[in-house]
Every structure is written in C-alpha cells, then in structure tokens.
Amino acid sequence: MSKDIKISAKGVDVFYGDTHAIKNVDIEIENKAVTAFIGPSGCGKSTFLRCINRMNDTIDICRVTGDILLEGQDIYAKSVDPVQLRARVGMVFQKPNPFPKSIYDNVAYGPTIHGLAKSKAELDEIVEQSLRRAAIWDEVKDRLHQPGTGLSGGQQQRLCIGRAIATAPEVLLMDEPCSALDPIATAQVEELIDDLRQNYTVVIVTHSMQQAARVSQKTAFFHLGHVVEYGDTNKIFTNPEDSRTESYITGRIG
Amino acid sequence: MMDQEHIASAYDRDLDRVQSLIMRMGGMVETAISDAARALEMRDTELADQVRANDKLIDALEEQIASEVARVIAVRSPTAGDLRTVLSVLKISGNLERMGDYAKNLGKRTSVLSEMPAISGSGGALRRMTQLVNVMLKDALDAYIQRDVELAEDVRQRDADVDQMYNALFREFLTHMMEDPRNITACMHLHFIAKNVERMGDHVTSICEQVIYLVDGELPEDDRLKQDRTSYDISVSKV
C-alpha cells in the first residue's frame, strides 16, 4: 500500500432495526490527513462516522456488520473496550457541548479518568497543551476556573476540540463541527482543523460543500447509504467521476 | 454536461446568461472578421472604419462577461462542471476579444492599403484564409454551445490548413518584395494581415480546447502538428 492508511473499512453494513442505513461501504482513510464525508441528509455519513468510534453501540436497535480496522486492528473485536477506543478516536459534535464544569475541568476530565497524568503539574501541562492545540489558550488562560458554558459558541467548540485531544487520540471525528458557529468562529475552527492534521487523522462530516473543499484532502460522497465516490478533494470538486456526485456538489439534487 | 437543473433556478439563469453573452460576442467577432475581409478586398474604407469602431462594443462585452463571471463565482461558488463553465467563459471571451483586435487591425491596414497599388493575387488568398478561420470560429462556437467534443477536435485540426495558407502567402509576399522594392510597404502590411489571420486561427484552436476541457475536465494532451514553419524558414536569411 503506497499510502499510510489509518482506518480501513471493508463491507460495512449498518441497520437501525429494519432500516438498512449503510450498504456495503469500503473505504480507506489516510493517516494524518483530513477526510470529509459529504452527502444529503439521511445519506448515512453521520451513521458511518459514528461507527468509527462505536458510538452506535449506545443505540439498542443499531447493528453493524463488516470490518472496521484501526491500524489493522478490528475495533469491533470482543477484546476491544469501547471506552478505550474512544480515547484513541475522539469526537466533536455539531453543537458545542462543554460539561457544566470549569474550563480546566472540561479538559482535565478525560486524562484523569484514563490516568494519563501522574501529578497535578503533569495534568496542568496536558490542559495547557490541549488548549494551545485547540487555538484557544490565549483566550482562556486567565479564566481557566470559570465555567466552560460561559464561553461564546465558537470558543465552546474549540474548548470541546481541546477536550477531545486531551486524551491524546490518534483520530478525531467531527460531526458538523461548525454548523452552529458564525463565519468568524467557523474560519477559526477550519484553521484549527488544518493545524490538527499534522498530528491527527481527522474525519469530518459537513453539510457545507465549500467547507469540505477548503479543509479536506480526501472527500467521500455518500448517497442512500452507499459511498458513491471517494477520492482527492481537488478532483471531486473540479471533475468528479460520477454524475450523482456532480449533481450533488453543484446543487442539483438535495 | 448536466441536463438536470439547479435547485436554485437563479443559478441556471446566471449560467445561461454568461453563455448567451459569449454567443453574442462570438457573433460580433464573426461579423467583424467577415466585414474586415470584405473591406480589404473591396478597398471599402468606410466598412473598415466601421469594423474599427465596432471593436469597442466587443471590448465592452468582454468586460461585462468578466464582471458577470466574478459575480457568479462570488455568489454561487461554482464547482465541477459549473466551475468549468465559468472558467471556460472567461477564457473564451479573452480569445474572442483578441480576435476582435486582429479584425480591427485589419481595418486599420485596409485604410493604408487602399491608398496603394494592389498586389496581384493576394486578395483572393487572404479572403479564402479569412473565410476558413471564420467558419472555424462558427463551428467552435457551435461545438461550445452543443458541448460537442468531436466537432471541437475537428476544428482544432483544421488550424493546420490555416497555417499552410499563411506559409504560402509568406512566400508569395517575399517574392513580390524581391521582384520590386516598391511593393515592400504594401506587402509588409499584407503580411501582417496574413499573420494576424493566422493568429485568429490559434485563438479558435484555444476556444476548441476550452470546449474539450469543459466536457472532459481535461485539456487535450497531444500537441497539434504546427504548420507555420516561417519562423525557421531559411529563405528569410537569404534575402
């Protein structure tokens, strides 16, 4: 394999009860790159994203078949603890959802429960580094013990990204991370995503075609549970192979 | 291309509009070329002056197309086939504008040439060459609006004929000048005219390449056979 593959999905199907949400998806996600999932509402892109850190386990009627390998290891194997998996594969959601705790505690929570810090000084260091990487340190360093919920929406989302990277994950999943943010905060988060790919593999679900084009190197177009087309973002947005991809990105089908 | 319409119908109207401006501009350039050729042949300085004056309208249309395209890009953020459409519109309008300039230059030289004795035999050859280029332009614009790659490729290959006609004229003018130095001024002007018409052919070729890019998403890879050999012509140094 010429490219460094971080996540490899083979023949993945997802069912919600009788509904067949994901149909035989094969995809290989590159290490330390940003991969965007695009597609109309209900196409399965968020469902598939949530398979990558087993968030779908929390839904009783949801059934996942096929293989999803993280660095060659089957994440659905019996030996894999989903809580440990989610420390390696972090997630940022559509709506910023800081814990009703201080800014410091929001970030310190993950490293504490996973026992990543041996001392208070080490924990302080992790918190600072995480907030720096999330490009919010300068804005919050003087108010670390104030509630995270008191920040602006854009700041809250960057705090959540800081919280997600505090457990030193390898992969960051982002489910429409900017849809509740204004254009300035969106630009800041996009800038951050671009920085993050030096250290992390990022997978982002977005409804903004332009955002996918701006932040990602690879794009997968989902439609009716299938991956219709997957390739270099530049190619997808200038000369896609499949007419359904073209129809979607040019605004001809919803 | 996509036959399907956009969800936002105003987007379709925007794209239709810039493309109809291109067709209008193309029609104006076709007229300018045929009028300029006729003015040259008939020594009609009035018609030549009209071609020169009309070039301002062609230039204005190019500016209008550029600003419409800028607006579409700003408002719609076109992608894929839509993006290629607006990019090709921009390039084709540039090609048409240059062709208009060459027609205008032909008009200018016609005014000068009308004051001089005619050079025998040159009129018919220039007319045939100009007609050939004008048919190529018409076909290139048809290929554009019909997204017809085959026709575009065919027109592209026809440019070799224009190049050969230019080569022949080049030699003919050279002969006239060697025969009688009093022919030099007229032949120099006629040679520039022939060269300009040959350049028009190159711009038509470039339009055809845009048609191919628009449809296939890639420019043609193969180099065309270039038939204009005058740059390497040894007879030039012998004169």
pLDDT at B238: 46
Q: A176 pLDDT exceeds 60?
A: yes
DSSP for chain B, written as a single string: ---SPPSSHHHHHHHHHHHHHHHHHHHHHHHHHHHHHHHHHHT-HHHHHHHHHHHHHHHHHHHHHHHHHHHHHHHH---HHHHHHHHHHHHHHHHHHHHHHHHHHHHHHHHHHTTSPPPTTHHHHHHHHHHHHHHHHHHHHHHHHHT-HHHHHHHHHHHHHHHHHHHHHHHHHHHHHHH-GGGHHHHHHHHHHHHHHHHHHHHHHHHHHHHHHHHHSS---SPPPP---GGG-HHHHH-
Which CATH number characterizes residue B181's domain?
1.20.58.220
Cα Rg of chain B, angstroms = 20
Domain contains A254: no
Closest chain B residue to A245, measured at CA: B80
Give the mean model confidence (pLDDT) for residues A189-218.
94
> With a cut of 70, which residues of chain B have pLDDT below it?
1-2, 223-227, 233-239
Shortest distance between the Cα of B155 and any Cα of chain A, in A, equals 24
pLDDT at A185: 86
Chain A interface includes B5 (CB < 8 A): yes
Chain A interface includes B2 (CB < 8 A): yes
Closest chain A residue to B4, measured at CA: A252
Question: What domain range is B158 assigned to?
Answer: 2-238
Q: Could you read off the pLDDT of B133-151 as tens digits, one per residue?
A: 999 999 999 999 999 999 9
Give the total number of structural domains in chain B: 1
pTM value is 0.81
Chain A contact residues (CB < 8 Å to B): 209-210, 213, 237-240, 243, 245-247, 249-254
Chain A interface includes B123 (CB < 8 A): no
**Is B79 in Cβ contact with A253 (below 8 Å)?**
no
**Alpha carbon distance B184, B199 (integer Å):** 22
Chain B residues inside the 8 Å CB shell of A247: 2, 4
Domain contains A196: yes
Domain contains A98: yes
- Residue A139 CA to its chain's centroid (Å): 24
Chain B residues inside the 8 Å CB shell of A250: 2, 6, 78-82
Please choose, from the candidates A100, A136, A141, the residue with its C-alpha nearest in 3D space to the C-alpha of residue A124: A141
* Both tokens assigned to A74: 């089957």
pLDDT at B150: 97
pLDDT at A1: 46
Domain contains A161: yes
Shortest distance between the Cα of A34 and any Cα of chain B, in A, equals 20
* Both tokens assigned to B9: 């119908």
Domain contains A244: yes
Domain contains A32: yes
Residues above pLDDT 70, as percent of chain A: 99
Count of alpha carbons within 13 angstroms of residue A167, beta-carbon side? 24
pLDDT at A78: 92
pLDDT at B237: 45
Give the total number of structural domains in chain A: 1
Give the mean model confidence (pLDDT) for residues A179-204.
91
**Is B84 in Cβ contact with A238 (below 8 Å)?**
yes
Question: What domain range is A179 assigned to?
Answer: 5-249
Q: A133 pLDDT exceeds 80?
A: yes
Give the mean model confidence (pLDDT) for residues A79-93.
94
From the list B4, B79, B217, the residue facing A249 with the nearest CB is B79
Shortest distance between the Cα of A238 and any Cα of chain B, in A, equals 4
**Alpha carbon distance A130, A133 (integer Å):** 5
- Average pLDDT over chain A reads 93
Q: Could you read off the pLDDT of B2-38 as tens digits, one per residue?
A: 678 898 888 999 999 999 999 999 999 999 999 999 9
